[in-house]
A and B are shown apart, each in its own frame.
Chain A
């Protein structure tokens, strides 16, 4: 065996992509890196849309649970008048919380279940393409966002049809969707990080529930922070879902929680960046 042949020319059939790829090794923020990042995320988002088109039923069945919260729980609780919300109807108060919760559920199950059950070989392959690692994780997160976005639009239509007292202005709705996407991407990355840690496919569903319900209850999704006992209030204060819900509520029904809108975007955006960085490090290694 000759072991001394040092610099060999590239294989003749390696195609036009290989020379640029070499110069693109400069990093994620080179033109090449950004193009790969955008292209990869676009391809994955498009695939999710295509899957939704092949299976519309999925998004509808997933929308049942948030609607139950809104119309059963919300209607029942609004009759008890146990929360002092001014002249705001409880269902209007609850609507942003339910939207955020529904998107979070999609994100967490997307990361946990879909990837491990269906995409094991696909991820191995993606890791062997010139796509940057960040693009793979971000692309998956964008895929979750596509699903969450379709569901959010569906929920907004139902909320409008039910005559729930939401402020319908274009800026508010667009801002709502934007914040919802940031949060969904963040929770999707969090669940990929979790998948990397848990590794056993069978345990995912249980762990997913274990994470999701406390995040939901320890947030301002169902009730204002000031009705919480002190310890729960502390947890809710560091829960990104709280900020997501507060931001949505401010934009959608005009009720600011304790925070201001810029802070809500800042916290949710920061959460996304943190989770993206952590998942990019941990996730591709764990999938092998």
Chain B
């Protein structure tokens, strides 16, 4: 009854059906549909401004959709937003741990605010420390940690409520190559051990190809292509996802360097839109 290729046949961890998000005149997401199978690492790939972050915000109940439907862990983001929020972990692009607290204090804080029962708090924190390998940094103030360590700490804080789905918005932005690889390896290990569904956005084609099991390519609020990376390459008879993107959109995806200004520009846009 279930075939791995057809995620529609099993209960998806995330289901997005003809999602539209409009801010005044701007169409941020214009009719996007996709499904993510439980335990899958699913990538939303596209340039800045493609609508990836807006999609994640709908799925994490931060933004109501203008039309269409979205289910996360079986719950509707509009009608059952509290149940959705209890089933997810979310790591936005902006730093979400408190630099003035130690790594351990950040874990304790997030355990308390994500509704981890008091008697399980200690054990859950210990598990998260173990899975992200944070032992050496527990007593350090978060602002003294490197970018890669910060991301691992953030991921650990998002695991405490044992989320069914983990959302990460551009988790490797601003990291050097070895830190990026380490973040991906930890995410892969998490998925292998616990089976957490992971939905990640990225504008880095190479990372998407290497680490995501399935991809949806977005551009200007629309879904251009979706499928397994290898299948996408084969379908277009190309060697790289850049070419898949170009075949789907008629444009090239610019690799954007100068990450800080990138993040700033995105935040500014987001603030204006929100």
Which residues of chain B are within 8 angstroms of A87 by Cβ–Cβ distance?
Answer: none
Of residues 82 to 138 in B, which have CB atoms within 8 Å of A's CB atoms? Answer: 82-83, 85-88, 90-102, 105, 108-110, 112-117
Complex CA distance for A36 and B161, rounded to whole angstroms: 14
Contact between chains at A14 and B73 (CB < 8 Å):
yes
**21-67 of chain A: CB within 8 A of chain B:** 21-22, 24-25, 36, 39-40, 42-44, 46-47, 50-51, 54-55
Residues in B whose Cβ lies below 8 Å from that of A21: 82-83, 85-86, 115
Residue interface bits A267-288, CB-to-B below 8 A is 1, else 0: 0000000000000000001111
Q: Are A11 and B98 closer than 8 Å at their CB atoms?
A: no
The residue on A at minimum CB distance from B17 is A3
Find out whether the CB atom of B98 lies under 8 angstroms from the CB atom of A122: yes
Residues of B within 8 A of A118 (CB): 98-100
B98 touching A124, Cβ below 8 Å: no
Which residues of A sit under 8 angstroms from B100, Cβ to Cβ? 51, 54-55, 118
Is B267 engaged at the interface, CB distance under 8 Å to the other chain?
yes
Contact A7 B80 (CB under 8 A): no
Interface hub of A14, A22, A47, A118 (most chain B Cβ within 10 A): A14
B62 near A288: Cβ-Cβ < 8 Å: yes
Q: Which chain A residue lies CB-closest to B8?
A: A2
On chain B, the residues within 8 Å of A286 by CB distance are 274
Expressed in whole angstroms, the minimum distance between the Cβ of A145 and any Cβ of chain B is 17
Contact A8 B86 (CB under 8 A): no
Choose, from A94-102, A127-135, A155-163, A176-184, the stretch at the interface. A127-135
Please count how many residues in chain A sit with their CB below 8 Å of the partner chain's CB atoms.
50
B-side interface residues, number (CB < 8 Å): 67
Known contacts A11-B13, A16-B117; is A128 also within 8 Å of B88 by CB?
A: yes
Give Cα distance in the complex from A2 to B17, angstroms: 8
Chain B residue at minimum C-beta to C-beta distance from A35: B115
B196 contacts partner chain A, Cβ-Cβ < 8 Å: yes
Nearest to B87 among chain A residues (CB) is A14
* Inter-subunit contact B161/A17 (CB<8 Å): yes
Name the A residues within 8 Å of B231 (CB-CB). Answer: none
Knowing A2-B35, A7-B74, A13-B164, the reply to whether A128 touches B83 (Cβ < 8 A) is no
The residue that A42 contacts in the complex, of B17, B80, B92, B112, with Cβ under 8 A, is: B112
For the complex formed, measure the closest distance between the CB of A135 and the CB atoms of chain B, giving whole angstroms: 8
A12, A126, A199, A287: the one within 8 Å of B38 (CB): A12
Does residue B60 face the partner (Cβ distance < 8 Å to A)? yes
Q: Would you call B113 and A18 a contact (CB within 8 A)?
A: no
Chain A residue numbers with a CB within 8 Å of B75 are: 10, 22
Contact among A10, A43, A125 for B74, CB-based, below 8 A: A10
A121 touching B18 in the complex, CB below 8 Å, given contacts A10-B73, A13-B194: no
Classify the secondary structure of A's interface with B.
Answer: helix
Chain B residues near A2 (CB-CB < 8 A): 8-9, 15, 35
Contact check, B112 vs A288: say whether CB atoms are below 8 A apart.
no
B11 touches A130 (CB 8 A): no
Residue among A2, A118, A131, A287 with the highest chain B CB neighbour number at 10 A: A2
How far is B62's CA from A24's CA once the two chains are assembled, in angstroms? 19
Say whether A170 faces chain B, with CB atoms less than 8 Å apart.
no
CB nearest to A123 among chain B residues: B96
Question: Which B residues form the contact surface with A (CB < 8 A)?
Answer: 8-9, 11-13, 15, 17-18, 33-35, 38, 57, 60-63, 69, 71, 73-75, 80, 82-83, 85-88, 90-102, 105, 108-110, 112-117, 141, 158, 161-165, 194-197, 267, 270-271, 274
Give 23 A-B contacts (CB < 8 Å), ordered by A residue. A1-B33, A3-B15, A3-B69, A11-B165, A13-B163, A14-B87, A14-B163, A17-B161, A18-B86, A22-B86, A40-B113, A42-B112, A43-B109, A51-B100, A54-B100, A55-B100, A118-B98, A124-B92, A124-B96, A125-B91, A130-B115, A288-B63, A288-B271
A-B pairs with lowest CB-CB distance, top 7: A11-B164, A121-B94, A8-B74, A2-B8, A288-B274, A121-B96, A21-B86
